[in-house]
Amino acid sequence: MEHVTLLLGIVIITALVFDFTNGFHDTANAMATTISTGALKPKTAVAMSAVLNLVGAFLSVEVAKTISSGLVNEDGIQPEVIYAALVGAILWNLLTWLVGLPSSSSHALMGGLVGAAVASAGFSAVNGGVVVTKVLLPAIAAPLVAGLAAYLATKVTYRIGNQMGEKTSAKGYRAGQIASAGLVSLAHGTNDAQKTMGIITLALVAGGILAPGSNPPAWVIVSAGVAIALGTYLGGWRIIRTMGKGLTDLQPQQGFAAQTSAASVILASSNLGFSLSTTHSCSGAVMGAGLGRKGGVVRWSTATRMFIAWGLTLPAAALVAAGAELVMRTGDIGIAVVTVFLVGSCLAIWLISRRQVVDHHNVNDVEPAAAEQPGVVTTAIAAVAVPPIAGGAPAGTTAAVTDEDLKATIPAATATPAAPAATV
């Protein structure tokens, strides 16, 4: 019993660490568009989001009950299983934060829980129906619904804005964007903070402290709310940059439409007990808003990397959690090995992140990787020597050739029979 009590304490602390990473990983969901459009200063935005995340944590426990008593069978689940699930979720959160990809903390946690439960007790330990109806289907539907809603809302906002001056409408939508960002933060607290409440409650049930089916105790609700609020205030600046500048370029009208649509989807799902990914909802809404403006574009290279990360989240977290659970079967030595591995991996990721710091000072700087990449044809042509451009660099020197230069030069090159043959 003493060993279980010690391990239970470790599990609770690790769950709160996950909640903390969830906070800074998902700050972008609420505040990326507000920061990118200049509606709020970066530090002001994350402070506002942190407070509302804390408030939202007290509004509902429906999602917490889905995690604690719906996803896996409570009978036979040991604290080691929950610890292994948290290891998988935390490492995936940190890896995706390091590369600036907005992936789902919710799915990382649920993937870890499923993987650890299967490794411990087989597939019978997982409620497949709940996984499909309350995890997988919402994961597919959320970005589509939020994206369509944001697309239509953007069309409406611009149509309304055409009836008033551009400066007046932009100012009004900036104010609306602040309000809608607050709504997303509140919704995030009602959905994501509850996941940690659910996992701690499941640990308490596994440790024999609570009866199966119990609601989260008050201290669990408070501690989970505080942890996610602190993480939110820290600010996941790398992911904020991707969401705010990497996917598309947003104007205040689009930011307002995206955040309002995402908040509506998240709040509705929380009331229904769906463990929805706020990342999927907000990312889908940002892309929908980007396409809703005439002339707006979505950087599909960034979106593709994000989609791949979404697809890998559940299986990657599940595999790491399953491996951790197998190691911990050896007893105290296995638990110590997993703990050292988790701490060492977190430290290594943090040290790597210090090589290129992203914070509130440079969060709105667009990374080169996020800019529009040249197409296959342009890349191929750039690798081939082209005829000298009139007035350009003298022969024998190397000059940078832009896409505009290529477009101007290629027709001329193809229309002049006497042009020298290009060499590779």
pTM equals: 0.76
Which range scores top for mean pLDDT: 141-155, 195-209, 309-323, 388-402? Answer: 309-323
- Is the pLDDT confidence value at 356 over 50? yes
User: How far apart are the C-alpha atoms of 300 and 402, rounded to whole Å?
Assistant: 22
Question: For position 70, what pLDDT does the model report?
Answer: 65
Of 377, 380, 401, nearest to 389 by C-alpha is 401
Give the rounded percent of residues in the chain with a pLDDT score beyond 90: 19
Residue type, 416: T
pLDDT in tens, 175-201: 887 888 888 888 777 777 777 888 888
Average pLDDT score over residue span 382-406: 43
Greatest mean pLDDT among 34-38, 67-71, 256-260 lies in 256-260
Taking residues 139-150, what's their average pLDDT? 88
Highest mean pLDDT among 106-120, 198-212, 235-249, 340-354: 340-354
Task: Identify the band that residue 400 occupies on the pLDDT scale cut at 50, 70 and 90.
Answer: very low
170 vs 107: which has the higher pLDDT = 107
Query: Is the pLDDT confidence value at 399 over 80?
Result: no
The whole-number pLDDT of residue 388 equals: 44
Distance from C-alpha of 51 to C-alpha of 226, rounded to nearest angstrom: 9
Q: Which residues contact 237 (CB under 8 A, 6 or more apart)?
A: 42, 358, 359, 360, 363
Angle at CA of residue 418, ends 413 and 422, nearest 5°: 55
* Average pLDDT, integer, range 163-179: 72
φ, ψ for residue 103, nearest 5 deg: -100, 175
Task: Provide the pLDDT for residue 343.
Answer: 95
The Cβ of residue 408 has, within 10 Å, a number of other Cβ atoms equal to 12
What pLDDT was estimated at residue 326?
94
State mean pLDDT over 242-267: 81
Mean pLDDT, rounded, for 290-314: 86
Number of neighbouring beta carbons within 10 Å of residue 392: 13
pLDDT higher than 80, residue 367: no
pLDDT category at 64 given cuts 50, 70, 90 is low
- What integer pLDDT is reported at residue 168 of this predicted model? 64
pLDDT number for residue 167:
66
- Per-residue tokens: 61: 């426990």
pLDDT over 70 percentage in the chain? 78
Q: How far is CA 265 from CA 14, 176, 252, 284, 326, in A?
A: 29, 18, 20, 11, 38
Predicted confidence band at 63 (pLDDT cuts at 50, 70, 90)?
low
Distance CA 371, CA 357 (A): 19
Task: Please tell me whether residue 126 adopts helix, strand or coil conformation.
Answer: strand
pLDDT of residue 344: 96
- What pLDDT does 67 receive? 62
Average pLDDT of span 27-46:
82
- Asked whether the predicted pLDDT for residue 258 surpasses 50, the reply is yes
Which residues make Cβ contacts (< 8 Å) with residue 183, sequence separation at least 6? 259, 260, 263, 267
Mean of the per-residue pLDDT values for the chain? 78
Least confident of 159-163, 207-211, 236-240, 300-304: 159-163
Residue 99: name the closest of 283, 353, 310, 314 by CA: 353
pLDDT in tens, 223-234: 988 998 998 888
Query: Who's near 73: CB < 8 A, 6+ residues apart?
Result: 117, 121, 124, 125, 126, 127
**Counting beta carbons within 10 angstroms of the beta carbon of residue 51, is it exposed (0 to 12), middle (13 to 18) or buried (19 or more)?**
middle
| Range picked from 67-81, 232-246, 286-300, 310-324 for highest mean pLDDT | 310-324
* pLDDT at 369 > cutoff 60: no
At 373, phi and psi to the nearest 5?
A: -90, 150
Alpha-carbon gap, residue 280 to 335, rounded angstroms: 33
Nearest to 355 by CA among 98, 22, 43: 98
Structure tokens, 113: 């829980």
Whether residue 65 contacts residue 273, with contact meaning beta carbons closer than 8 Å, is answered with yes
Query: Is the pLDDT reported for residue 324 higher than 90?
Result: yes
